[in-house]
Structure 1
Amino acid sequence: MNRRKKLTIYSMLCSSFVVSACQTPPSAETDREVIRIGHLPITHAAPLYFLDANQDDYFDGGAEVELVRFSSWIELMDALNAGRIDGASVLFELAMKAKERGIGLHAAALGHREGNAVITGNEIDDLAELKGESVAIPHTLSAHHLLLDEMLERAGVPYDAVDVVEMPPAEMPAALGEGQVASYIVAEPFGALGVQNGVGEVEYQSQDFCPDNCLCCALVLRDDFADANPEFADKFVESYAAAGKEAGDPTEQAIETHQAYLDVDDNVLEQSLGWISYDDLRIREEEYDYLQNKLTEMDLIDEPPDYSEFVNDEIVRDMDMDGESR
């Protein structure tokens, strides 16, 4: 069965503010090198937040990371594919599809490990009760869709028995509380938000299904930017990985940095960060192979790029556990 024909599109509206922001050229008032990186406001992009907050420490004032915030993956990928941004923290599967279609991209690091919860409504006592109900995912090409497939198979529920809808992550907790969906699978902090708001509970975490890790979000760069700015691109990736170490540090200062980019309260953030890790952002080939095979099995990608074609995480692999280059 072709999953691509099964989905109901919940929301594809673009924000005119975000689109216009993407079209703004870098400032001509500075000689500093600038890299423009897209992201959604989720904990999976946290290494970018810590890099942005402390970028003068990483680049000594000689370069600048400009974060461009989007409200949906559709908006972000339009900007990335068109070259309006130089890279992004993006769903791994979406980037693979863009690569398959000929967009010059490569994955340089993961955004995180784990941190993808399956949330069900409080009235759901058995997953068989999802038959005939709606389940929200952020995009067809996402780890969350793969997790949904694994969950339904484990529960003995046919994929065709549920209505799978695409929905922006920020809308999912409210949609569950209002009965628009019976379950959702999403990036953090929106799983924790649903739990903390009392509208749902955790049915599974991603590690319950995938060997080692379900590859979810990755840092990808456009090849044209990296080719034109090799030293800056390498320094950016190195700094990104080092910032990831800070993102996973449960200090008061780290919590304040997360909250500066995510509009959630302490309890939500504490629970969310308890589900996610930023310690190891390498992209292992065996994990990628699992993802590649699963996407093909679900008929989501026809010819997914091979690991050697798409992944270039040499910078991250060459960093030791202290975040210093060897």
Structure 2
Amino acid sequence: MPQENRLTSHALRRRQLLGAGLASALPLAAPQLASAASKSIVVGGLPVTCNLTLPIACVANATNNTSGGKAGGPLFEFEYSKYSGWPEIKESLMTGRIQAAYMLAPLVMDLVDKKIPLKIVSLGHRSGAVIMVRTDSAHKRFSDLKGKRIAIPSRFAVDFLFLRKMLARDGMTPKDIEIVEMAPPDMPAALYAKAVDAYCTGEPFGAAAQRAGYARPLAMTRDEWRNYICCVLTVREELIKENRPLVQELVNYVQAAGTWLDTGPVSRNKAVAIAAGRKFFNQDPNIIRFVMENPADRVTYGDLRMIKAEFDDLMKLSLEASTIKRPIAYESYVDESFVKNIKPVVITL
């Protein structure tokens, strides 16, 4: 196995070191699903701000259903199911235990290549990844990390591709560092304990350590990769075949949630209160608010267009990283029809 791909597993359970008190993200059992022709759906997600459009879509949909804000037509229901990591959510989607989830885009490409019937139907966010080092470290450039231990969530994570881009800028490759795979909630504690020298992940796990005062960003996608995409709304193909109206309404709400989140501080403060609750992320609201404000475009949601050239670029980077083994046709893993047929939804939260 090439040294570049020697990704060793690492398990640290020291979250109590986080003074900010980031809540653990234990998986919740996904409720039993009704038939594909029903008017309700369970959507899997992780407690990360890259998935923030999902709880907003769920609450906005429930609010409109209750208040009669949606005039005419069937009342669809979306239920959020929290997972602790990509392996768990991947297995649930593969087996059909859930029929929709926010997934890593390269992981969807790989699963489709392995004949798992999935389609990406919407983006979930833009930007939102950071590479963190200790505040008291001397690391100013990526060349300073030569020979150091750096944690990533998964070899399928776009965070890993971001790290590769930053290393390449300083004339380095993953061969020049030691890479470990680690669950994002464990990364801040690992950095605090000096078990790793840096970590690359999505928010709020960079903000948790930064707000606590012992970490600082070495690089952020908002500065280095503005069209960064990672988490995408993915559904099983049989759901599309059997219940297009439900999928369309889910996309309508996710896209509307993205637009609403980027309207300003009022919306984002409401989003913080929703996402921090036990039903969703179950996290310290101050940490989520830190992500929303420092700076305000640390994660963005308003531009959820699906652009083929961007997915092609993502595939190229994934091929270079050996994350996927061969090119995969865009049309085989993306269904643009729902984004093209969006019906405006009013978010009243």
Q: 5 Å matches for 1:70-109?
A: 70-109=83-122
The equivalent of 1:276 in structure 2 is 299
Instruction: In structure 1, give the amino acid aligned to 2:7.
Output: L
Match for residue 46 of structure 2 among 14, 31, 40: 40
Gaps of 5+ in 2: 14-23
Quick one: structure 1 residues 67 and 254, their matched pair in 2 at CA, closer, same or farther if it must change by over 3 Å? closer
Aligned mates of 2:327, 2:252 — CA distance in 1: 27
Spell out, residue by residue over 1:141-177, the C-alpha distance to the aligned partner (whole angstroms, 9 max, x if none): 1111001111111123332121111111111111111
TM-superposed CA distance for 1:11, in Å, is 4.5
TM-superposed CA distance for 1:307, in Å, is 1.7
TM-superposed CA distance for 1:272, in Å, is 1.1
1:99 alignment partner, SS class: helix
Q: Which moved more, 1:251-260 or 1:108-117?
A: 251-260
The equivalent of 1:301 in structure 2 is 324
Spell out, residue by residue over 1:83-112, the C-alpha distance to the aligned partner (whole angstroms, 9 max, x if none): 100111111111111111111111111110
Aligned mates of 1:213, 1:79 — CA distance in 2: 29
TM-superposed CA distance for 1:183, in Å, is 0.8
Instruction: In structure 1, give the amino acid aligned to 2:119.
Output: H
The equivalent of 1:165 in structure 2 is 180
Quick one: structure 1 residues 82 and 304, their matched pair in 2 at CA, closer, same or farther if it must change by over 3 Å? farther
Gaps of 5+ in 1: none
Q: 5 Å matches for 1:209-220?
A: 209-210=224-225, 212-220=226-234
CA contact (8 A) 1:3 1:298 kept: no
Q: 5 Å matches for 1:238-317?
A: 238-249=252-263, 250-251=265-266, 252-260=269-277, 261-273=280-292, 274=296, 275-317=298-340
Quick one: structure 1 residues 99 and 278, their matched pair in 2 at CA, closer, same or farther if it must change by over 3 Å? same
Spell out, residue by residue over 1:190-248, the C-alpha distance to the aligned partner (whole angstroms, 9 max, x if none): 111121111211111114443x4122110011101121111111111112211222333
TM-superposed CA distance for 1:4, in Å, is 7.1
The two structures, once aligned, show a CA RMSD in angstroms of 2.7
The equivalent of 2:204 in structure 1 is 189
Normalised TM-score (structure 2) = 0.82
1:54 alignment partner, SS class: helix
Match for residue 226 of structure 1 among 236, 240, 254: 240
Instruction: In structure 1, give the amino acid aligned to 2:230.
Output: C
Aligned mates of 1:267, 1:124 — CA distance in 2: 28
Spell out, residue by residue over 1:245-303, the C-alpha distance to the aligned partner (whole angstroms, 9 max, x if none): 23334214333223223344454323312201110111111111110111111221012
Q: Which moved more, 1:56-65 or 1:271-280?
A: 56-65
Normalised TM-score (structure 1) = 0.88
Aligned mates of 1:130, 1:231 — CA distance in 2: 50
Quick one: structure 1 residues 240 and 157, their matched pair in 2 at CA, closer, same or farther if it must change by over 3 Å? same
Aligned mates of 1:199, 1:74 — CA distance in 2: 29
Aligned mates of 1:258, 1:206 — CA distance in 2: 22
The equivalent of 2:131 in structure 1 is 118
Aligned mates of 1:56, 1:236 — CA distance in 2: 12
Quick one: structure 1 residues 114 and 3, their matched pair in 2 at CA, closer, same or farther if it must change by over 3 Å? farther
